[in-house]
Amino acid sequence: MTGHAISLTLDGTPDLPSAVLQSLYRITGRSTVELRRAILAGDALYAASLFGPEHIDVVPRLEKTIAFLTDTGLGFTLSESFEGTDAPISLATLREILEVPSA
């Protein structure tokens, strides 16, 4: 992924029930097999390139994924990738990145 991207990784490697994986599938569009592999490998559950042509589609999925994980009590880590540098970020920082300035 190039440019400005955000990734979301679950804390730990929980063996999630199929119902949770199916819900994540409906939100992220990744198959339950892909999701399970990513979780067990400690890879990103979801990654979104920001401010490109897909921005209008990926940001709502990212926000819905965060809301679902928060509602189900699953911990996660957000990371920002910008110009080749990866760094963990807080949810508040993500909100600042996504905030549209008022005119």
pLDDT at 53: 67
pLDDT at 90: 93
The tens digit of pLDDT for each residue in 4-56 reads 889 999 999 999 999 999 999 999 999 999 999 999 999 999 988 877 767 67
pLDDT at 22: 97
Please tell me the distance from the alpha carbon of residue 72 to that of residue 99, in angstroms, as a whole number: 25
List, in order of start, the domains of the chain with CATH numbers.
4-98 (3.30.1390.10)
Residue 75: pLDDT over 70 = yes
pLDDT at 2: 54
pLDDT at 17: 95
Residues in a beta bridge with 99: none
Residue 35 carries which DSSP code? Answer: H
